[in-house]
């Protein structure tokens, strides 16, 4: 049942305020400025012993894990990184007993992720799951974890589950942070930010008509560049993946800082750029990248907290805490991909060559 929407993708994008509300519900502990995640199976002493966190997933879940790794480093100061599960399992990785492994999956059935979890467990590692589908293979195989509570996702391309997965990582990061060195004041600041998310998501979604008009401006592109820096980079990667999957337009994501090391050669009017420009300590750096693109006559669509003079168009999104901004900045670009694909007459819920869960090698 699409509940009045023409596609599941549109329905699922539209459900995100409620979905985020659901992943937060019942978990916030205001007294200790932390959150409780029931099924983690990791007591405070064990959590303090974790020296490193390795996050494994595929596709959109991998991108959510990249944001998750940054949240964990920022809030809990535990070294963390994300890697595609498929790469990890074939490179004979060093499995370290002080590392906590986190497997991320919407379906909980992705074979590459499941195989990585099984290999890790065979070697005695502790593996948590950040999974959407309750009782799925990865959820059962993991030692503990947290559900993402996005609700059923039918469209082959993942949208609401991406957002909820990142929020679930913010909760995990806050939890780990408050067991370690994150202050009460910072814990409260993040909790207040999390509570603002659902209303801010609704605010972004209310701009759909404007985003649709902008999508029409770029629909002639054969290829698009997506750039962001640090917190903005996984957002750029995910937005590029969405555009590729549903519209079949080639899209390439780069850290904004790497532009001058090569991809700037591609910039010309026929190669528009989507730039993630949060109002944080890297704002001036990001603005400089926009200037470099403009100097080569590149068209620019910015997703930012204020109108960017160098951009041809800006989608203005509400500001949250710096750490949580990536959660919001990807949402207008889901609509951007959707409306681009719609205008091109694509089969939005079932893009060619793709399946909802990849249960084969
Ligand atoms: C992207 C997409 C895929 C999946 C990937 C992992 O829109 O749908 O990239 O994210 O196949 O799937 P899960 O999260 O089910 O493990």
Q: For residue range 95-148, what is the model confidence (pLDDT) as tens digits?
A: 999 999 999 999 999 999 999 999 999 999 999 999 999 999 999 999 999 999
- 311-316: long-range contacts (C-beta < 8 A, 24 or more apart)? 311/275, 311/277, 312/217, 313/214, 313/217, 315/207, 315/210, 315/211, 315/214
Per residue in 77-91, pLDDT (tens digit) is: 999 999 999 999 999
> Burial letters for 85-108: b for 16+ Cβ neighbours within 10 Å, e otherwise?
bbebbeeebeeeeebbbbbbbbbb
- 25-29: long-range contacts (C-beta < 8 A, 24 or more apart)? 27/171, 28/191, 28/194, 28/195
Tokens 């985003």 locate to: 211
Ligand 1, pocket residues at CB < 6 Å:
58-61, 105-107, 110, 113, 156-158, 245, 357-358
> Ligand 1 center to residue 6 CA distance, Å?
22
Q: Report the C-alpha dihedral over residues 177, 83, 324, 234, rounded to 10 degrees.
A: 160
What are the catalytic residues? 356
Three-state secondary-structure class, residue 284? helix
Tokens 């067991």 locate to: 179
- Estimate the crossing angle of helix 232-247 against helix 331-343, to 10 degrees: 20
> Ligand 1 center to residue 132 CA distance, Å?
11
d(CA 264, CA 91): 32
> Ligand 1 center to residue 58 CA distance, Å?
6
d(CA 109, CA 199): 32
313's tokens? 């168009």
Identify the CA nearest to 1 among candidates 11, 334, 21, 157: 11
Residue nearest to atom 5 of ligand 1 (CA): 59
Instruction: Write phi, then psi, for 57 (nearest 5 degrees).
Output: -170, 180
Q: Along the 361 residues of the chain, how does pLDDT read in single tens digits?
A: 898 999 999 999 999 999 999 999 999 999 999 999 999 999 999 999 999 999 999 999 999 999 999 999 999 999 999 999 999 999 999 999 999 999 999 999 999 999 999 999 999 999 999 999 999 999 999 999 999 999 999 998 999 999 999 999 999 999 999 999 999 999 999 999 999 999 999 999 999 999 999 999 998 999 999 999 999 999 999 999 999 999 999 999 999 999 999 999 999 999 999 999 999 999 999 999 999 999 999 999 999 999 999 999 999 999 999 999 999 999 999 999 999 999 999 989 888 888 888 887 7
Residue nearest to atom 9 of ligand 1 (CA): 59
Does ipTM exceed 0.85?
A: yes
- Estimate the crossing angle of helix 160-179 against helix 59-76, to 10 degrees: 20
Which residues neighbour 205 within 8 Å (Cβ) at sequence distance 6 or greater? 13, 14, 16, 17, 331, 335
- Residue of 63, 158, 166, 349 to test ligand 1 pocket, by largest number of atoms within 8 Å of CB: 158
Give the ranges where 206-296 is alpha helix by DSSP (H). 208-218, 232-247, 283-295
- What is the reported pTM? 0.97
- 118: exposed, middle or buried (C-beta count within 10 Å: 0-12, 13-18, 19+)? middle
Residue nearest to atom 7 of ligand 1 (CA): 157
- Residue of 61, 162, 237, 355 to test ligand 1 pocket, by largest number of atoms within 8 Å of CB: 61
Identify the CA nearest to 296 among candidates 257, 263, 269: 269
Decide if 139 contacts 133 (C-beta within 8 A).
yes
């Amino acid at each position: 049942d699409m509940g009045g929407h023409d596609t599941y993708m549109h329905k699922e994008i539209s459900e995100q305020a409620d979905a985020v509300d659901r992943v937060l519900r019942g978990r916030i502990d205001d007294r200790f400025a932390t959150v409780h995640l029931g099924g983690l199976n990791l007591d405070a002493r064990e959590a303090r012993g974790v020296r490193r966190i390795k996050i494994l997933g595929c596709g959109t879940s991998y991108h959510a894990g990249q944001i998750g790794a940054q949240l964990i480093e920022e809030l809990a100061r535990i070294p963390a990184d994300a890697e595609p599960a498929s790469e990890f399992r074939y490179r004979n990785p060093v499995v370290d007993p002080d590392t906590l492994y986190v497997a991320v999956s919407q379906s909980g059935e992705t074979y590459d992720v499941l195989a990585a979890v099984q290999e890790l467990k065979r070697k005695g590692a502790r593996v948590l799951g950040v999974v959407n589908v309750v009782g799925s293979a990865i959820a059962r195989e993991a030692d503990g974890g947290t559900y993402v509570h996005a609700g059923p996702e039918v469209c082959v391309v993942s949208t609401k589950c991406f957002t909820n997965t990142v929020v679930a990582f913010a909760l995990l990061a806050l939890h780990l942070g408050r067991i370690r060195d994150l202050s009460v004041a910072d814990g409260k600041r993040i909790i207040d930010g999390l509570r603002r998310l659902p209303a801010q998501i609704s605010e972004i979604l209310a701009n759909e008509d404007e985003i649709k008009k902008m999508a029409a401006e770029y629909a002639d592109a054969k290829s698009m560049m997506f750039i962001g820096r640090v917190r903005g980079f996984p957002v750029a990667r995910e937005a590029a993946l969405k555009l590729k999957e549903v519209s079949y337009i080639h899209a390439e994501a780069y850290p904004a800082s790497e532009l001058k090391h090569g991809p700037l050669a591609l910039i010309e009017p026929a190669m528009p750029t989507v730039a993630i420009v949060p109002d944080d300590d890297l704002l001036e750096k990001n603005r400089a990248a926009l200037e470099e693109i403009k100097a080569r006559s590149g068209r620019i669509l910015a997703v930012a907290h204020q109108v960017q003079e160098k951009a041809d168009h800006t989608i203005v999104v509400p500001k949250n805490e710096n750490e949580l901004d990536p959660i919001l900045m990807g949402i207008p670009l889901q609509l951007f991909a959707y409306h681009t694909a719609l205008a091109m007459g694509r089969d939005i819920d079932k893009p060619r060559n793709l399946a909802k869960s990849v249960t084969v090698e």
